[in-house]
A and B are shown apart, each in its own frame.
Chain A
Amino acid sequence: MEYITITTGFLIILAGLWAIMTRKNIIRIIIGFSLFDTGIHIVMVSMAYVKGGVAPILDKNELLTDTANKIVDPVPQALVLTAIVIGLGVTALMLAYAMKLHSEKKSLDIESFKDLKW
């Protein structure tokens, strides 16, 4: 069962990458990136999973002994929050780019932005 989340995470990462590499519309590419990012977040959380573990909130006495084996690892959960915030920032900036690109060429096709090359 614990492999479901991680597998799903990787599938979403691959789906995101596939969208980034094949979709021509910039908005779709950005959505692809968002998927890619979300997949990573899912993988991160699933890495912290401990079989039968509970949330790392020490509200019961029984948790105070042998804590590490009873709770899920809190560190990745803290990390994923940061990662989500950063991902949000990146996505927002990408969307700002999309707007600016569109206002210049009235197109969102990534093929039409190849002025710099070689």
Chain B
Amino acid sequence: MISPIHILTIGLGGAFALGFVPKKAKDAAAVIMLAAIALMGVLTGSWLIGLINGDSAQQVFTAGFKPPFSINLLMGLNEGALTTAVNFIGLLGGIYLYKYLKEAGNHAIMVFLIFIMGLNVVIMTRDIFNLFVFLEIVSIATAGLVILTETGKAVQAGFKYMLATGVISGVLLIGIIFAYYYSGTLNIDGLTQAHIGALRGGSVALLMIMVSILLELKTFPANGWGLDVYEGANAGIGAMLSAATATGMYYVLYKLLVMAGPEWNYWIALIGAVSFIGSNVLALKQRSAQRLLGYSSIGQIGLLMIILGFKDILGDNTPYVAFGILFSHYFAKAGLFWLAGIVKQSDIANWAVIRKKPYFLFLMGTFIFALIGFPPFPSFFAKWELVMELVNTGNLPWVVAILFGSMMEAVYLFRWFGYAIKGENENIEDFKIEWNKILPVGIVAIALYVTGYFTAQHTEAGAAINWIPLFFVAAIFILDFLPVFVKNTIAIIGMALYFYNIYPDLDNMRLVFEAIFMIGGILTLIAGYAYKGKRTGFYPVALLMYAGLTAIIEAQTTLQFFFGWELMTAGSYFLIIRGKRSMPHGLSYMLFSVGGAYALLIGLGMAFAGQDSLGMEIINTISYLPYWAYGLLIVGFLTKTAALGLHIWLPGAHGEAESDVSPMVSAILLKAGVFGIVLTLIGMGGESNSYPWLPYALGWLGAITAFSGNLMAVFQEDAKRLLAYSSIGQLGYIVLGMAMMTHLGWLGGFSYVVNHFLYKAVLFLTIGAVVLRVKTHNMYEMGGLIKRMPLAFIAVMIGIIALSGVPPLSGFAGKWLFYNAILEKGWYLQGAIMFFSGGIAFMYLWRLIHTVFLGQLKDNHRNVKEISIWFLIPIYLLLAGIMVYSVKPQWVLQPLGDMIAQWFPDGQLTWDGGTAFTKYGHWAGTAVAVTIIVAFLVVLALLLISTRKAHKVKQFDITYSGERPERPETTHVAYNVFEGLYKAMWIATIPLVETWWNKVTDFLHDTADIVRRIYNGNGQTYIIHIVLFIIVTYFVIIGG
């Protein structure tokens, strides 16, 4: 093996050789530089491979002297991995900057090489003075690159950077000389043995060393100089700073923390937490892409510092967690900086231009999801491990702090991404692609997926993850150039085969949900045939959501469950944001989902506490703060069922989604939350659970949600929003039913689960198809469509009858069970609210028929056709389901009852043929349904006969008495039809919850806007921050 000292030989030799290259031979110079970096990479890479295969680490002493008279380098596993990483990103960064460095000339090329070499030594060195020297080399190289290649703002930033790093390394130098004075050595291992922190005077020396490394890491808030460079410098240099320099500096902190001793761990974690939360909150107000990335980089380093501070608690897992986060950050941040250099838009709103080249949008999405810690990226597994361990060791406040910071990061990154997906991009000039710039971005994106896959294999639970659905998604993504027809067929066949393969392995409860997800998925996909062209990007994201949904059903471990949960969130986010005007709703959906996921994560962590496996059964036996754990799990799941308070994303998201997406995210996706609640309630112990307050609160929440969802639906003019609010209400019923924790309650709940899936899919599909024809969501702009779309009319008619819960259709089964269950449970007040909201439901359901299909046909709809056959097929299949359920309810309810009996054996329905009995009465489903259907048909026939001779009034047999109304829609009978009701009920329709959330976000944004003004742009102020930081840490850590 070649000695690592030859990294210096290659770096310095290469730089020296560059001096002989003629000024005009710029290509030759750049190639020499890349070759030198590649050579260093090969050297460190071969060490890494050797060390992984069990070679022993090597310590190098220069000139045969022992420290402090020689420089000593160590090449161990960590060093091997990190130097290889630095050389790898250095090579990619060199390729990215190829033309740029070439134009700047041989000097810049030389400096870039020295920069990479310096970082290698910073990572390997075991001597603190040598560390100082190479830190200075890196700083000078960075500032040199800036001044050799830039003009304007970047030069200002470069000067501030020089000034700040100059002062910081001065402080470091003082610390080093005092450490030497008190201990007699400069070697890190020697200082560790001497317990430098415990020596008289040594603690101050140590403080100065540690603080200067923290400052070099651009710790909040003494980091204005770093932010300015991130924003001002070329994106390629920013990428190097964020990926390579930060990686090297982080490792320096790791080395020195060993030297500082365990009493420093706490302080590093604390400073890291302040930095993580502080910079992520301040980033909320950022509009400049590169500065935003700078804030995010500093935040990520803060998170890594927290991990380092907990290294004794994480134990052997520390490298796994730290490398997982570090590498995600390293690849993703480099990728995003490079993208910023390609897109060349400073304002994040202008990033909408990126979707003019859709694959770039995919790259950006990859990086952003990797930063937030979504699967399948390494950060997901690392964050999981971190939270599990921290909760397990009772460090809950830290977990909350970490997740709060992550949440803030999600806010601004997804806002940015939202602009990219949905922002206005017509007037923005398209960007150019150069091969040398896109190549590195592509490579790091692929690297993220590959490292993610291998990170998962590293743990037992991760290795058990089923990747087949994800590979299928990837295949569909590659085939995205094919027309809709082909992709739709592949998707349907794939889902059908998958369902066929796994259904025998599922228990009954999981089968109910899996059937809703998969069969429902296939039915809604059939509607996709109605679309023409390619429908770019639709199939990968739809299948991603289904892959997540099936993963939560199949999950054997909590890790698999959470993995699926996050995949589902990602997929549904992309589906939702595809709709018109969906940008804000996509963001709020994502933020509630991320928040909910974090609640789940903590809950699952508490479930893991004191257990030695991650099997799903651990949520049945939570012993660590069980009230909180179950509460958090429920809150997490309620974000997906859109319970009141967590619902504000739903109306917009469902209302604005595409016609076949609304049923997917409403009829199907919401059930994932219900599935989670069912699992949690079973885990709590079913009937005999010892947490009475949780179901009780949940019951009230369900009842109030049902009431307010329905009430809000009444006042909608937009048909799809009406259905969306209606979903909130319906899910309220389900939650109330489950919360009763009795056999009948659950039977009612499950009956609603199946029913809501059937009729909400019918209604959303039909209304969606109508919207596709008439090009408006507003009901008052429709009317009389019964004549043009009779089949759609019949579907809506049956759908609303089923939804309203009147006999003869299936909805009645749910209602009847509910009232029985409520009486049995004695929740009369909640029952009264339910009853009242059922009445309200009629008021909005009626409008779907009255306003949309009855009345006069609008002039511009005179020639619309019946809704597409591809919508009619799934709609009528679903209607057939409703009919079967209505006429033979025992076919559905008996198996459901048997299933529920395993948790709630008491109070079952007793069946006598088709008649069900409870202690309050009985109900013969078939007889009731048949009787009413026959009666209906008889009355219909009578009416048809008796009105045969009635005179038909043509549409224009009316006059306006010469008046021309200014807002014509106000003359429509259906416009604002519940004005009177509104006058009575307005107080209940004030969007208090929305106002509350707005206040919260405004507060955070205002705080960020005020606090970030400490970065006033003056280099001197930044020095004052640095000095204050040193003074404050001195008083806090050493004590005053």
Contact = CB atoms under 8 A, between A and B. Distances in A.
Q: Do A and B originate from a single complex? A: yes
B147 A21 contact: no
Contacts of B231: 116
Interface in B998-1026: 1012-1013, 1015-1020, 1023-1024
Contact of A118 (B147, B152, B1013): B1013
Contacts of B143: 93, 97
Interface string B226-254: 01100110000000000000000000000
Nearest to A9: B174
8 contacts: A20-B1020, A75-B69, A79-B176, A110-B1019, A117-B1015, A117-B1016, A118-B1015, A118-B1016
Q: 8 tightest CB-CB pairs across the interface, nearest first? A: A117-B1017, A114-B1017, A113-B156, A116-B228, A97-B159, A47-B181, A115-B153, A44-B177
Given A33-B167, A94-B159, A114 B1018 contact: yes
A35 to B, nearest CB: 11
B178 interface: yes
Given A118-B1012, A118-B1013, A94 B163 contact: yes
B158 interface: yes
Given A33-B167, A47-B181, A79-B177, A115 B156 contact: yes
Interface string B137-156: 00110011001000111011
B394 interface: no
A113 B174 contact: no
Contact of A47 (B151, B153, B177): B177
Nearest to A34: B166
A82 B133 contact: yes
A110 B143 CA distance: 18
Given A21-B1023, A113-B1017, A115-B1017, 18 more contacts: A20-B163, A20-B167, A21-B1024, A44-B173, A75-B186, A83-B173, A86-B133, A90-B139, A90-B166, A93-B144, A94-B159, A97-B155, A97-B162, A100-B151, A104-B151, A115-B152, A116-B156, A116-B1017
A71 interface: no
Interface in A80-101: 82-83, 86, 89-90, 93-94, 96-98, 100-101
A22 B166 CA distance: 16
Nearest to B144: A93
A98 B178 CA distance: 33
B1023 A20 contact: yes
A104 B232 CA distance: 15
Which DSSP category, helix, strand, loop or mixed, fits chain A's interface?
helix
A72 interface: no
B129 interface: yes
Contacts of A86: 133, 136, 140
Nearest to B150: A100
Contacts of A116: 153, 156-157, 227-228, 231-232, 291, 1017
B1020 A21 contact: yes
B759 interface: no
B163 A79 contact: no
B170 A37 contact: yes
Interface string A37-54: 100100110010000000
A75 B162 contact: no
Interface string B282-302: 000100000100000000000
Contacts, number: 125
A101 B159 contact: yes
A76 interface: yes
A62 interface: no
Interface residues of B, number: 51
B65 to A, nearest CB: 11
Nearest to B171: A40
B1027 interface: yes
Contacts of B1023: 17, 20-21
B158 to A, nearest CB: 6
Residue among A26, A89, A98, A116 with the most chain B CB within 10 A? A116
Interface size band for A: 35 or more
B310 interface: no
A113 B170 contact: no
A76 B182 CA distance: 13
Interface in B107-141: 129, 132-133, 136, 139-140
B204 to A, nearest CB: 13
Contact of B162 (A94, A113, A118): A94
B152 A96 contact: no
B68 interface: yes
Contact of B163 (A29, A44, A114): A29
Given A36-B167, A47-B180, A118-B1012, A113 B140 contact: no
A40 to B, nearest CB: 5
A111 interface: yes
A115 B1015 CA distance: 11
B178 A47 contact: yes
A64 to B, nearest CB: 19
A66 B157 CA distance: 53
Interface string B183-226: 00010000000000000000000000000000000000000100
A40 B174 contact: yes
Contacts of B136: 86, 89-90
Given A40-B174, A115-B153, A116-B228, A90 B162 contact: yes
A111 B1016 CA distance: 10
B215 to A, nearest CB: 14
A22 B1019 CA distance: 11
A100 B162 CA distance: 14
A83 to B, nearest CB: 6
Contacts of B162: 90, 93-94, 97
A37 B227 CA distance: 25
B147 A93 contact: yes
Contacts of A20: 163, 167, 1020, 1023
A26 B173 CA distance: 24
A5 B627 CA distance: 65
A33 B166 contact: yes
Contacts of A89: 136, 140
Most chain A beta-carbon contacts within 10 A, residue among B157, B232, B1023:
B1023
A13 to B, nearest CB: 8
Given A110-B1020, A113-B1019, A79 B178 contact: no
Contacts of B140: 86, 89-90, 93
A97 B166 CA distance: 14
Given A104-B151, A110-B1020, A33 B174 contact: no
Contacts of B1015: 117-118
Contact of A40 (B173, B180, B232): B173
Nearest to A16: B170
A101 B156 contact: yes
B166 A79 contact: no
Contacts of A79: 129, 176-177, 180
Contacts of B186: 75
Contacts of A96: 147
Contacts of B1013: 118
Nearest to B154: A116
Of A47, A94, A117, most buried by chain B (CB within 10 Å of CB) is A117
Contacts of B177: 40, 43-44, 47, 76, 79
Contacts of B144: 93
A21 B1027 CA distance: 10
Contacts of A111: 1018
Contacts of B174: 13, 40, 43
Contacts of A17: 167, 1023, 1027
A75 B180 contact: yes
A92 B500 CA distance: 73
Contacts of B139: 90
